Amino acid sequence: MIKETTVEGPSVPEALDAALEQMGVQQDAVEYEVLEGGSKGIFGSTKPAKVKVWLKAGFVPPNEEVDDLEEDEPVEDAPANRAGYDVVSPADLSDEELDTIADEAVSVINSILRPLGIESEIEEYEGDEGEIIMDIVGDDLGILIGRHGKTLDALQVVVSAITNRRIERRFPVVVDVSGYRHRRRLKLEEIARRAADRVARQGRPVELRPMTSFERKVVHMVLRNDRRITTASQGEEPFRQVVVHPK
């Protein structure tokens, strides 16, 4: 298995996709560093974008899995990433430093949207775990979400990578579009709780539909403290799913 590669592409998302295909892994298994963003922004640039991609510390290939839940949860508590950026907690930063990070993220998002001719505003607010959420709001922004949120996921990767590079530290910045992630999270939490109730009532496992890594993590987290059931992931991408088991 390839553990590290540097790839060029027409845009950062396309370069990332090419790197993932080379390595044979999903996005949640790797870290990224954007070396070149392209001459006209991230999408549709005339100068190739270049990214450096490497496996996360502790990544276990699917045929060597030892813990399904751990695979579904990104490694966020490592002391530093491969690019040499310290992982910073929101509680460790002043308001001025948080404002600086938010300003950098806004600048990155605007550099992506401006060449596309997309008019929008960016609303900033703090998430439940102290992360900065950048919600892009405006008319006809479905193109930024894409089918099942895949375009938004790619935008998230790009914005996080470039922002972290600019501030030279690793900080949780979440990109949303018109509250899509928030609404999706609420729906997933509802689905998870209903599945847990059904398992507790019937005493039989329930398999949820295939989900992305982000969606599976939401399910695992919302049911983590439910003493009636346990959760585990099974299968391989793109058909990997959460199974809720009775205790």
Give the pLDDT of residue 26: 64
Residue type, 234: Q
Confidence (pTM): 0.59
Give the pLDDT of residue 101: 92
All structural domains of the chain with their residue ranges = 90-179, 182-246
Homologous superfamily in CATH for domain 182-246: R3H-like domain (3.30.1370.50)
Give the pLDDT of residue 29: 73
pLDDT digits (tens, 9 = 90+) for 75-121: 333 333 445 567 777 778 888 989 999 999 999 999 999 888 888 99
Give the pLDDT of residue 62: 43
Q: Topology of domain 90-179, per CATH?
A: GMP Synthetase; Chain A, domain 3 (3.30.300)
Whole-angstrom CA distances from 91 to 14, 15, 53, 85, 103 are 35, 34, 29, 17, 18
Please state which of the ranges 37-46, 47-56, 95-104, 172-181 shows the lowest mean pLDDT: 37-46
87 contacts 78 by C-beta, under 8 angstroms: yes
Average pLDDT, the chain: 80
| Domain 90-179 identical in fold to domain 182-246 | no
Please state which of the ranges 1-15, 17-31, 58-72, 111-125 shows the lowest mean pLDDT: 58-72
pLDDT digits (tens, 9 = 90+) for 221-242: 999 999 999 999 988 877 889 9
Rounding to the nearest 10 degrees, give the CA dihedral for residues 191, 192, 197, 202.
90
Give the pLDDT of residue 40: 52
